Amino acid sequence: MLKETINFFDEIFEIENGLPSIYSDIFFAKDNKSLYLGEVNKAMYKDTSINKLYNVEFVPDYMVPKLANPDLFTVKKVSHVRGYAAYLADFSDVDSYLKNQFKSNAKTIKRYVNRLESCFNINYKLYYGRIDRQEYEFVMNALEKMKEKRFDQREDQDQSLSYWDHTYKIAFDLINNKRASLFVIYDEQKPIEISLNYHFNGILYSSNSSYDIDYSKFGLGHVEIYKQIEWCIANNHSVFEMGRGDLEYKRRWSNLIYNYEYHLIYQKKYLGAKLYSGILENLLKLKAFLKSKNVPIYWQRIKSATKIKQKSHKEFEHKFIIEIITDGAFRHKNMPIDRQSESISFLKKLLYDFAYSNIEHISGIEVFEIEKNRSYLIKGQTQIQKITVIT
């Protein structure tokens, strides 16, 4: 028997006219609105291989794909993992969505946005429909480095990096054809948060995102989602899609929590495919059950525990003692150090945390070395911190 496995979600977002030929069109389950109309000849689609089973993975259940020839084929559906999205059609602006979703905690999200813009010279840019090769390479390389550093910090692996070459290859043309975009938060000219998105008929899918961990205090992930939803509502995108992965921030932002499905499709008159699909259906249900009980997570932890861990950058990170001192104790006469100097790059996170806590613009904060490679002062308008390196 022939079996063809299709990743429905990836194909419709990453490939122009990527609807698998077994389907003719897609409707939005919420209002039966057409999301995609297939070519006319798909209505006459017939598979000449009778002994074939289609295993269509990752079909979000808020999308309803119609079989091109329902008289010839039958379909079994099996629920899989959960997915997360924001449905925006009922909202006129991002703040109304924020208030509806976060209630009294909406101010916390706005505080992240306001604090970031108060402390740095922030600008936002969405590359959609036009990006030159040099800028594309610069932003994508920055995103890759952010992801590597972020997951090294977590002592974890980012699965998206395993197929990064594929992503890097396809995204440039997709951006210039308005099938993808790059959203970037810049501090001056430096990217500090980047999201690679795919677009499909009014749906923006935030596929790959990361941020500069030195700015972690500022909740850049929340700022990114806030700004992208703002763009979606202003540009007639009714869904901000966050994909699969049961993460706390996705649950908080999503008003559309759905299931991904497997679709097992075969010709009605082929008994062998029917029997095989029944076996596969039960295996998929078992897999979904084990996943619901977090068995794959426990198994991964066991495997990780048995491996000899390679040294990560965390073993070489500095540790500090942080003290608040009074103005009267400030007697240092050295010139301040350039904040961009590589010699104090290890202090950047502390410097940015200081800006966040004191709501001060970075331009008004000075750094002094009081004992070479050992102790430093971070001086703002209202507070001074002494930083002592202990490792």
pLDDT in the model for residue 267: 84
Are 118 and 231 within one domain?
A: yes
Residues 185 and 50 in one domain: no
**Which tokens hold the place of 31?**
């209002």
Distance CA 273, CA 4 (A): 12
More confident residue, 107 or 329: 107
Residues 14 and 68 in one domain: yes
Does residue 246 lie within any of the structural domains?
Answer: no
Q: Indicate the pLDDT class of residue 36, thresholds 50, 70 and 90.
A: confident
Task: Assess whether 228 and 269 both reside in one domain.
Answer: no
In a domain, 306, yes or no: no
In contact, 280 and 106? CB cutoff 8 Å: no
pLDDT band at 330 (very low <50, low <70, confident <90, very high): low
Q: Are residues 17 and 35 in the same domain?
A: yes
- Domain contains 202: yes
pLDDT of residue 338: 87
Instruction: Quote the number of domains for the chain.
Output: 3
Is 244 within the bounds of a domain?
Answer: no
In this prediction, residue 57 carries a pLDDT of: 93
Q: How far apart are the C-alpha atoms of 29 and 21, rounded to whole Å?
A: 20
Shared domain check, 370 and 287:
no
Q: Give the model's confidence band at 342: pLDDT under 50 very low, under 70 low, under 90 confident, else very high.
A: confident
In a domain, 18, yes or no: yes
pLDDT tens digits, one per residue of 273-306: 677 677 777 787 777 777 656 555 555 555 555 5
Q: Are residues 155 and 214 in the same domain?
A: yes
| CA–CA distance, 292 with 84 (Å, rounded to integer) | 16
Least Cα distance to 26 among 14, 45, 42, 47 occurs for 42
Q: Is the pLDDT of residue 364 over 90?
A: yes
21 and 111 assigned to the same domain = no
Q: What is the mean pLDDT of residues 139-161?
A: 79
Residues 175 and 104 in one domain: yes
Residues 94 and 72 in one domain: no
Q: What is the mean pLDDT of residues 14-38?
A: 84
Q: 334 lies in which domain range?
A: 318-389
* CATH number assigned to the domain comprising residue 222: 3.40.630.30
In a domain, 352, yes or no: yes
Q: Are residues 109 and 212 in the same domain?
A: yes
Of 387, 365, 366, the residue nearest 376 (C-alpha): 387
More confident residue, 257 or 288: 257
* Cα–Cα distance measured from residue 13 to residue 335, given in angstroms and rounded to the nearest whole number: 54
Residue 99 has pLDDT above 90, yes or no: yes
